[in-house]
Each structure stands twice: as structure tokens, then as C-alpha cells.
């Protein structure tokens, strides 16, 4: 188990870490959504674009920390497994659980361009895997694709500002046109710091509790690491769903998946080579692709993410864990 923060362990402190981590995740997720919504309002940029970039990068911090640490520790399989597992969890778990709490009106937002970019990133990622290793060449290609995605987002934001002088602030819950810049930046910083810290505390505490009950490190790594690094996305998406910010929720997942594939493996492969195990071609890559294709009804068929979908996605993730374990 590779933790990003080394913490003293004990039966009582493990439970404290777990509870504090969960609370911190929820508070930080709320802070990041508030900051992102108000930033989009101030800049005249759609909340979707802010969620595809700032929110997505902020919530992907744990995956980046875990993957780079895994390379330094000589366990590159963990870096690759973390990203692939997190992308699957992002769709099935991160969208499934919030949909159980509140209907997300994803049909109201046009996410086709960003979704196609995510699919293109997935195809590029798997195509490079056929080389047998993610090395510095693959890393530069992935980072170049990320730069292209960010450039597209910047141009889209510029076009939006020119097309309309103001966002419909009345439709954005949590938006305050008079909120000072200092508070907007504070919300964003608190969210970006609190999310990886909360995830670290929760994973650390829960892992120690699991070991106390005799659960093996292998099982803990397969479940808690992948789920743990997706907790910031989950916390942000839950708060976005409760605040009726479906564009932030869906944009966060699509943006995080793109950043995981292009940015995290791109950076990690510059730190050291990441060999691709045959097991990824046998199962994991294709589960990730299948999970990505499950977004088609919400992107192209104008479906809302209802509680029925929430049950289906959550059940699919439980089935996935059952097969993996």
C-alpha cells in the first residue's frame, strides 16, 4: 500500500482518520464547486469548461501523487492500474452514487465536444500501450494531446465570452455576482488542498482498519487505492449534484478521465518507464472503454442521470469489483 502521507496508526486513530477524511472530502468538494461556479460567472466562462479544467485537475491530484510515487518506489503497475481503475470508478461510481441522491439534468448541457476528446484520449492511450511500455516518447505524445485539449478549452471560453456578456447567474445555485476575487481563489485553493488530504486520511485509516480485520494488501490495493483516489471526484460530484450543477458533475468526470490518461501517465512516464502488463489488454483496458461508452445516453441521447441510472451504474461497479477480486 502506497500512501501519500505517513501517519501514525492505532485502532482509535484509524477511525478518527477515516471520519475526518470523509468530512474533509465533503467540505473541500463543496468549496471547489463554489469556487468553480463563481469563477465561471466572473470570467464569463461556462461552468462546464471550468469543471473540465480547474475542477478536473484539482480532483485528479491524488492520482498524480500516487502514480509518481509508484514509479519512484519501483512499482509501475500500480501507477497504470491506479489510472485505469480510477477512470472506471469515475464513470460508474462517481456518477452512480450522486445520481442516487439527486437527479442530474445532464440533458440540458452540450458535452459532445469534450466527450469526443475523452474518447480520442482513450484511443490514443491504448494505442500507445501496444508499444509495450509508456516511456518518455509516449509521455511527450500524451502531454502534447493534453496541451491541445487545454487550447481547445481556452478557445471555447473565449468564444463564449464574445457570444454573451453575462452568464445566467440566476440559474447557478451557489453563484454570487458580488463574491470578491479573494474568496473565489480561497474556495478553489481550499478545495484543491482539502481533497487530496481528505482522500489520503480516508485511505490511510480505512486501509489500517482493513488490515486489522485480516484483509490482504493486494485486495486493499485493488479496491481502496482506486476508489480512494477517485474520492475527490466523488465528493465534488456529490456536492455538484446536490447544488443542481449537472454540468460541473459531468464535466468533472470527463475532464478528470482525460487528465488521468494524458496528464498523469504523461508526467509519470517522464519520471520512469511504465511497462504494460498483458493483464491490462486481457480485461482492464476494455472495462475502462466500456465504462466510457456508458456516457453516450447522457451525451448524445439527452438522457438525465436519474436514480435508475444511479442504481445501474453503482451495481455495475460492484460487479466489476466482484470480478476483479
Which pLDDT value is given to residue 169?
45
- Residue of 160, 117, 142 lying closest to 254 (CA atoms): 117
What's 48-167+214-324's CATH class? mainly alpha
Judging by beta carbons within 10 Å of its beta carbon (0-12, 13-18, 19+), is residue 325 exposed, middle or buried?
exposed
Q: Classify residue 209 by burial, with Cβ atoms within 10 Å: 0-12, 13-18, 19+.
A: middle
* Whole-number pLDDT of residue 72: 82
Question: Sign of dihedral through CA atoms 315, 202, 213, 13?
Answer: negative
Do residues 44 and 241 lie in contact, with contact meaning Cβ atoms separated by under 8 Å? no
pLDDT digits (tens, 9 = 90+) for 66-86: 778 778 878 787 778 888 888
Residues of the chain with pLDDT under 70: 1-10, 51, 157, 160-175, 203, 206-207, 215-225
Write down the domain spans for the chain: 48-167+214-324
Residue 246 is placed in which grid cell? 449537472
Please give the helix or strand (H or E) that residue 319 lies within, else none: helix 307-324
173-201 per-position pLDDT tens digit: 456 777 889 998 999 899 888 877 877 77
- The secondary structure element, H or E, covering residue 186 is helix 181-212
DSSP tag of 282: I
Tell the residue number behind the cell numbers 468533472, with chain if given. 252
Is the distance from CB of 259 to CB of 60 less than 8 angstroms?
Answer: yes
**Share above pLDDT 70 across residues of the chain, in percent, rounded to a whole number:** 86
User: What distance in Å separates the CA atoms of residue 71 and residue 57, rounded to the nearest whole number?
Assistant: 20
The three cell numbers locating residue 312: 445501474
Cβ atoms within 10 Å, residue 232: 31
- CA 305 to CA 95: how far, in whole Å? 8
pLDDT at 172: 45
Angle, helices 226-242/246-258, rounded to nearest 10 degrees: 160
Q: Following DSSP, what letter does each residue of 218-266 receive, concatenated?
A: HHHIIIIIHHHHHHHHHHHHHHHHHTT-HHHHHHHHHHHHHIIIIIIHH
DSSP 45-68: --HHHHIIIIIHHHHTHHHHHHHH
SS3 313: helix
DSSP 284: I
Give dist(CA 97, CA 46) in Å, integer. Answer: 25
First to last CA, the chain: 16
Residue 105: alpha-carbon gap to chain centroid: 20
Spell out the residues 6+ positions from residue 312 whose beta carbon is closer than 8 angstroms to its own.
Answer: 96
Q: What is the pLDDT of residue 9?
A: 57
List Cβ neighbours of 134 (8 Å cut-off, separation of 6 or more). 80, 128, 142, 265, 268, 269, 273, 274, 276
Q: Provide φ and ψ at 173, rounded to 5°.
A: -70, 135
Amino acid at each position: 500500500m502506497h500512501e501519500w502521507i505517513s501517519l501514525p496508526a492505532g485502532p482509535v486513530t484509524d477511525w478518527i482518520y477515516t471520519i475526518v477524511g470523509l468530512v474533509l472530502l465533503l467540505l473541500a468538494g463543496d468549496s471547489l464547486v463554489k469556487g468553480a461556479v463563481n469563477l465561471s460567472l466572473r470570467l464569463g466562462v461556462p461552468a462546464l469548461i471550468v469543471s473540465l479544467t480547474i475542477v478536473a485537475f484539482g480532483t485528479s491530484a491524488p492520482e498524480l501523487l500516487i502514480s509518481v510515487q509508484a514509479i519512484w518506489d519501483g512499482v509501475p503497475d500500480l501507477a497504470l492500474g491506479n489510472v485505469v481503475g480510477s477512470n472506471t470508478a469515475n464513470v460508474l461510481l462517481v456518477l452512480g452514487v450522486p445520481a442516487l441522491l439527486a437527479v442530474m439534468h445532464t440533458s440540458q448541457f452540450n458535452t459532445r465536444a469534450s466527450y469526443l476528446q475523452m474518447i480520442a484520449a482513450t484511443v490514443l492511450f491504448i494505442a500507445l500501450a501496444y508499444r509495450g511500455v509508456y516511456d518518455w516518447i509516449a509521455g511527450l505524445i500524451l502531454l502534447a494531446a493534453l496541451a491541445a485539449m487545454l487550447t481547445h478549452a481556452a478557445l471555447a471560453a473565449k468564444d463564449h465570452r464574445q457570444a454573451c456578456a453575462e452568464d445566467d447567474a440566476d440559474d447557478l445555485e451557489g453563484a454570487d455576482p458580488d463574491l470578491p476575487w479573494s474568496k473565489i481563489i480561497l474556495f478553489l485553493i481550499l478545495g484543491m488542498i482539502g481533497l487530496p488530504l481528505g482522500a489520503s486520511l480516508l485511505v490511510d485509516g480505512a486501509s489500517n482498519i482493513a488490515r486489522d480485520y485480516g484483509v490482504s494488501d493486494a485486495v486493499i490495493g485493488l479496491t481502496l487505492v482506486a476508489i480512494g483516489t477517485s474520492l475527490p471526484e466523488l465528493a465534488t460530484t456529490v456536492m455538484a449534484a446536490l447544488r443542481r450543477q449537472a454540468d460541473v458533475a459531468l464535466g468533472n468526470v470527463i475532464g478528470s478521465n482525460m487528465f488521468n490518461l494524458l496528464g498523469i501517465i504523461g508526467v509519470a512516464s517522464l519520471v520512469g518507464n511504465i511497462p504494460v502488463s498483458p493483464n491490462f489488454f486481457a480485461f482492464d483496458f476494455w472495462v475502462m472503454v466500456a465504462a466510457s461508452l456508458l456516457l453516450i445516453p447522457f451525451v448524445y441521447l439527452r438522457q438525465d442521470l436519474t436514480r435508475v441510472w444511479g442504481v445501474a451504474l453503482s451495481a455495475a461497479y460492484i460487479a466489476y469489483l466482484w470480478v476483479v477480486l
